[in-house]
């Protein structure tokens, strides 16, 4: 059985990490090609080695650029029939699910947040149309039980057609010497560092974290908040209003190979998202020996188990109090580190690949 693994996400994006890490293990187990749909260059390419960021392989096919209003969905539509022939297709991004029509296919879905938290009506209806492609797929893979529940409820796919296969964590997420890492990243050596990792989506609930941090910094003058990711305008305004800009550091872009070091530099990851398909930063933090405080919401409890402190996502006072406890109670901190390291061992990409291969054979 020849399998086409179809991906359009770069390595260090959320679903890109899924695609590249999973393919690296799958290619050891079966006859599979990694087919990359390169929107920027309007080409289809075969990835020879997922260990390399060099995607400049010879294109399998090309398409034209559509002036003025070109978007990914139009690119996929134009180039979809140029994807090579395989016995089974695995589309690693749910937005490409409509390409499953007429093919023996599995589609991976990380979440359907755009259908639930409606921030933009155009995006909402676009995603709804794209997700109709789920009905063309023979089976779906989801990365949490919560996502499966959402798809059954909002898209109407039968539960028996959906397989839950949790994500893995790469071996580069591991314990390191915090002081050495802080020197490498040019971060303060004498401060407690609270880390947040995520996009600028409203569901990341960064405003609640900022308010909780405002309370915390009144009790501790040696603490800073480090946020990795782009920021919303309203959050920047909130920070100015609270006069805490000098205690918060934003890092918009981090080279992919440096990402793991930020977990090692931090004393604590706080992750108050209201909606996650999985919540990979919590797993990456636990594998790195970084304690975690996270929201008791959607898929997050599935991932962290009892290895993190869970709070209600909008409970500012509780988040602030728990941050203070973790930063000032070494016994609690060491317990969270120990539990987190053990929990992270349950999530490996080899395990993900074996479960995925088994599902291929079932389909």
pLDDT tens readout for residues 241-251:
999 999 999 98
Predicted confidence (pLDDT) at residue 50 exceeds the cutoff of 50? no
39 CB-contact burial (10 Å; exposed 0-12 / middle 13-18 / buried 19+): middle
Q: What is the pTM of this model?
A: 0.92
| CA–CA separation, 185 and 318 (whole Å) | 31
> If residue 277 lies in a helix (H) or strand (E), which one and from where to where?
none
pLDDT tens readout for residues 112-148:
987 776 666 556 666 666 677 899 999 999 999 999 9
- When pLDDT is averaged across residues 35-60 and rounded to a whole number, the result is 75
CA dist 95 → 1, 32, 151 (Å): 25, 21, 14
- When pLDDT is averaged across residues 93-115 and rounded to a whole number, the result is 91
Predicted confidence (pLDDT) at residue 55 exceeds the cutoff of 60? no
How remote is the C-alpha of 341 from its chain's centroid?
19
CA dist 244 → 195, 214, 221, 224, 282 (Å): 16, 7, 11, 10, 25
Q: Do 228 and 197 touch, CB atoms closer than 8 A?
A: yes
> Which runs of consecutive H residues, i.e. helices, occur in 91-177?
113-116, 121-131, 145-150
Which of residues 291 and 202 earns the better pLDDT score?
Answer: 291
Q: Between β-strands 248-251 and 105-109, what pairing exists: parallel, antiparallel or unpaired?
A: unpaired
Rg (CA), the chain: 21
Residue range(s) occupied by CATH 3.40.50.2000 in the chain: 3-168+348-362, 178-344
Which of residues 72 and 49 earns the better pLDDT score?
Answer: 72
Predicted confidence (pLDDT) at residue 349 exceeds the cutoff of 90? yes
pLDDT tens readout for residues 246-275:
999 998 878 878 999 999 999 999 999 999
| CA–CA separation, 356 and 333 (whole Å) | 35
What is the three-class DSSP state of 30? coil
> If residue 332 lies in a helix (H) or strand (E), which one and from where to where?
helix 330-344
Q: Which residue has the tokens 């978007």?
A: 71
| CA–CA separation, 355 and 15 (whole Å) | 18
The tally of CA atoms less than 13 A away on the side-chain side of residue 11 is 17
Superfamily of the domain at 3-168+348-362: Glycogen Phosphorylase B; (3.40.50.2000)
| CA–CA separation, 190 and 163 (whole Å) | 47
Predicted confidence (pLDDT) at residue 54 exceeds the cutoff of 60? no
How remote is the C-alpha of 274 from its chain's centroid?
14
191 CB-contact burial (10 Å; exposed 0-12 / middle 13-18 / buried 19+): middle
Q: Between β-strands 61-62 and 43-47, what pairing exists: parallel, antiparallel or unpaired?
A: antiparallel
Q: At CA 305, angle to CA 304 and CA 307, rounded to 5?
A: 70
Percentage of residues in the chain with pLDDT exceeding 70?
93
Q: Which residue has the tokens 């259908």?
A: 115
Q: Do 111 and 150 touch, CB atoms closer than 8 A?
A: yes
| CA–CA separation, 103 and 159 (whole Å) | 21
What is the three-class DSSP state of 198? coil
pLDDT value of residue 123:
62
pLDDT value of residue 229:
76
Predicted confidence (pLDDT) at residue 52 exceeds the cutoff of 70? no
How is residue 279 annotated by DSSP? -
> If residue 141 lies in a helix (H) or strand (E), which one and from where to where?
strand 139-142
pLDDT value of residue 303:
98
| CA–CA separation, 35 and 38 (whole Å) | 9
Domain 178-344 has CATH 1.10.3860.10: no
Which of residues 251 and 58 earns the better pLDDT score?
Answer: 251
């Amino acid at each position: 059985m020849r399998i086409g693994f179809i991906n359009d996400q770069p390595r260090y994006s959320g679903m890109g990490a899924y695609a590249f890490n999973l393919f690296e293990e799958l290619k050891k187990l079966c006859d599979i090609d990694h087919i990359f749909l390169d929107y920027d260059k309007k080409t289809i390419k075969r990835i020879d080695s997922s260990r390399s960021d060099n995607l400049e392989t010879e294109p399998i096919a090309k398409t034209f650029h559509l002036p003025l209003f070109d978007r990914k969905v139009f690119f996929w539509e134009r180039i979809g029939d140029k994807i090579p022939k395989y016995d089974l297709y695995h589309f690693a991004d749910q937005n490409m699910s409509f390409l499953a029509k007429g093919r023996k296919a599995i589609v991976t879905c990380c979440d359907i947040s755009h259908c639930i938290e409606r921030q933009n009506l155009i995006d909402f209806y676009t995603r709804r149309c794209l997700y109709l492609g789920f009905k063309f797929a023979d089976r779906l893979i989801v990365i949490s039980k919560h996502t499966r529940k959402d798809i059954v409820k909002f898209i109407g796919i039968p539960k028996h057609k959906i397989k839950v296969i949790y994500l893995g964590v790469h071996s580069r997420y591991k314990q390191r010497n915090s002081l050495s890492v802080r020197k490498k990243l040019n971060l303060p050596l004498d401060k407690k560092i609270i880390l947040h990792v995520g996009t600028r989506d409203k569901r990341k609930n960064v405003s609640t974290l900022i308010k909780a941090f405002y309370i915390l910094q009144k009790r501790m003058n040696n603490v800073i908040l480090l946020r990795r990711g782009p920021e919303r305008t309203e959050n920047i305004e909130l920070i100015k209003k609270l006069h805490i800009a000098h205690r918060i550091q934003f890092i918009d872009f981090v080279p992919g190979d440096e990402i793991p070091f930020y977990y090692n530099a931090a004393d604590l990851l706080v992750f108050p998202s209201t909606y996650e398909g999985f919540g990979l930063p919590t797993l990456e933090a636990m594998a790195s020996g970084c304690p975690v405080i996270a929201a008791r919401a959607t898929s997050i409890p599935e991932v962290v188990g009892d290895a993190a402190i869970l709070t209600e996502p909008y409970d500012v006072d509780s988040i602030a109090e728990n941050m203070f406890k973790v930063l000032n109670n070494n016994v609690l901190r060491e317990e969270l580190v120990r539990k987190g390291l053990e929990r992270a061992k349950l999530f490996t990409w080899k395990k993900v690949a074996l479960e995925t291969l088994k599902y291929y054979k079932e389909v």
